[in-house]
Amino acid sequence: MLLVIFFSFLFPAVNCLLCLQCSGISQPRHCKTVVQCDVGEECGVERISFTNGQQLYNVGCFVTQECAGNITASGECRECCGKNLCNAQGCGEPGYPDTMGPICYNCPLPTNPSSCSSIEFCEVGQVCEYDFRREFGDLVYSGQCAHRQVRTK
């Protein structure tokens, strides 16, 4: 399964994990914001339960020492992992489906492509499409899911 397509000229490679980062969501896999963790951090999922039975999740980067146990101080679940976007699942919640399209950056017109932190889930058969152009003297970038173009001779 193809998770995220990086173009080296747009998104320089780094040695840090790329993790989902959201607070108070119904399932980790519905998070559409990403962040690069610092050295010494891992991707993680933390479940918060309320007295009315509702459960919400926080996903993001956790200090590796906080990931040692799967239970937080309040007795809730915390699970960590060490791969890009691996915190789409955890604490009993399912991750991404086996059959899906790629996950692409989706930022409308940032002037610095490495500042894009929004992602989009593409359908099967779609591809990540990235574009850059000059606008008012600035080089602006955009990314999105697109249908694969069939080239004819």
Taking a C-beta distance cutoff of 8 angstroms, is the pair 102, 120 a contact? no
Percent of the chain at pLDDT above 70?
Answer: 80
Q: Is the pLDDT of residue 146 over 50?
A: yes
Query: Could you tell me if residue 114 is inside a domain?
Result: no
Query: Could you tell me if residue 105 is inside a domain?
Result: no
Query: Could you tell me if residue 50 is inside a domain?
Result: yes
Counted domains in the chain: 1
What residues pair up with 128 in beta bridges, in sequence order? 145
Taking a C-beta distance cutoff of 8 angstroms, is the pair 57, 76 a contact? no
Query: Could you tell me if residue 30 is inside a domain?
Result: yes
Per-residue pLDDT band for 130 (boundaries 50, 70, 90) equals: confident
Question: The whole model's pTM is what?
Answer: 0.78
Angstrom distance (rounded) from CA 79 to CA 90: 6
CATH number of the CATH domain containing 82: 2.10.60.10
What residues pair up with 141 in beta bridges, in sequence order? 132
Taking the CA atoms of 20, 22, 25 and 30 in sequence, report the sign of the dihedral they define. negative
What residues pair up with 22 in beta bridges, in sequence order? 59
φ, ψ for residue 26, nearest 5 deg:
-75, -30
Query: Could you tell me if residue 123 is inside a domain?
Result: no
Per-residue pLDDT band for 17 (boundaries 50, 70, 90) equals: confident
Domain of residue 66 covers 18-88
Q: Is the pLDDT of residue 63 over 70?
A: yes
The DSSP code for 137 is T
Q: Is the pLDDT of residue 35 over 90?
A: yes
